[in-house]
Amino acid sequence: MDGGGDLRGGLYRLMVRVGYPPDFAALVAREMNTDYLVRRMTAYVSRVGRIPPEEFADEMLAILEDRDRYMRKHRAEEAQEKVSELFRYGLDVPDGE
């Protein structure tokens, strides 16, 4: 991974700087695939430095689970909105909507 100037590159460089192997840092940076996830992981690595791989994996999984929980909640809210519209308007939706 070249690092570049993006957030994932910053996470990669930080992890290598605190002592993680480059291959591991590249894997983590790839898995943290949104700015939000990268920022959370960067904050974590900045705060704790180098920790045993098991602890690191636990935190990474927790961050990813938070993302998955958010996505499920968002999908459920969208589905509930559709059901509410169905109850409100029935199956007869006016033309053009």
- Classify 21 in phi/psi space as left (phi over 0), alpha (psi -120 to 50) or beta: beta
Predicted confidence at residue 2, as pLDDT, reads 43
12-16 contacts: CB < 8 A, separation 24 or more?
14/42, 14/45, 14/46, 15/45
CA distance 48 to 35: 20
Domain ranges of the chain: 7-89
Predicted confidence at residue 3, as pLDDT, reads 42
How far lies 37's CA from each of 13, 31, 60, 91, in Å?
16, 9, 9, 40
Predicted confidence at residue 9, as pLDDT, reads 94
Sign of CA dihedral 15, 58, 68, 27: positive
Predicted confidence at residue 94, as pLDDT, reads 59
Predicted confidence at residue 86, as pLDDT, reads 87
CA distance 74 to 47: 30
In the chain (97 residues long), the average pLDDT of successive 10-residue segments reads 69 95 92 90 93 88 89 90 88 63
Predicted confidence at residue 16, as pLDDT, reads 95
